[in-house]
Amino acid sequence: MTPVAAKHTRDTKKRLPWNRAFLLKLELRSHPGLLCVIRGALAPLMEMLGFSEEQVREIIRGVDEAVANIMRHSYHGCLDQPIELYCNRLHRQSNGQTEQAIEILLFDCGPAVDTTKLAARPLDEVRPGGLGLHIIRGSMDTVEYKRAGRLNRLRLVKYVHPSKSGCGSKEEKPS
């Protein structure tokens, strides 16, 4: 999966108005016991990038739920399937100011996701389960899913200092 994911990342870079700096790559198996490893790796990185404590918690929550969703839904609980996680720092000049963000790309080899079924359940229903997607969307500024060849790609973006109008609206449309 590595070469394909890397090529996809390079291709995406050409289309983005952002400057991207690669920071971290994690390759792991789809074992839930590794979720704590991801959280443990991301927290200090996000702190180093200047995110507030609350934003760090949001990023950790969003990524953790996204990876758990891959393990649960894409790999149906199989413990040995590959997952790749890339962290890139994004920055660009806009109206004389530098916008900073973290981009997290998640790749898995599971079957294509039926995007018509990607609906978070109504929150007024009192029942267990179905909260993951809602939590991911509520934690990150941008959430984009794309089928990239034989891979599923989930792109998560979080801005260091979102403007009141919402930096996410300035970003490029999903490719």
Partner 1 sequence: MKISTRQIKTATILDVSGNIDMSNSMEVRKALLNEIRIQKATRVVVNLSAVNYIDSSGVASLVEGLKASRDLGSRLVLFGLNDSPRELFKISHLLKLFEIYDDETQAMASLAPSV
Shorter beta-carbon distance to partner 1: residue 77 or 166? 77
Gap between the Cα atoms of 6 and 27, Å rounded: 12
> What crossing angle do the helices spanning 53-69 and 35-48 adopt, rounded to 10°?
150
Calculate the CA dihedral of residues 44, 144, 128, 111 and round it to 10 degrees: -110
CB 101 within 8 A of CB 50: no
Shorter beta-carbon distance to partner 1: residue 57 or 146? 57
Q: Is 80 in the site for partner 1 (CB under 8 A)?
A: no
Q: Is 23 in the site for partner 1 (CB under 8 A)?
A: no
CB 74 within 8 A of CB 142: no
Shorter beta-carbon distance to partner 1: residue 96 or 128? 128
User: Which residues lie closer than 8 Å to 84 by C-beta, 6 or more apart?
Assistant: 1, 2, 5, 25, 26, 27, 105, 106, 107, 108
Quick one: which of 10, 15, 54, 114 contacts partner 1 (CB under 8 A)? 54
124-153: which residues touch partner 1 (CB under 8 A)?
124, 126-129, 131-132, 134-135, 138-139
Q: Is 83 in the site for partner 1 (CB under 8 A)?
A: no
Q: Is 173 in the site for partner 1 (CB under 8 A)?
A: no
What residues make contact with partner 1 under the rule CB under 8 A?
31-33, 35-36, 39, 53-54, 57-58, 60-61, 64-65, 68, 71-72, 123-124, 126-129, 131-132, 134-135, 138-139
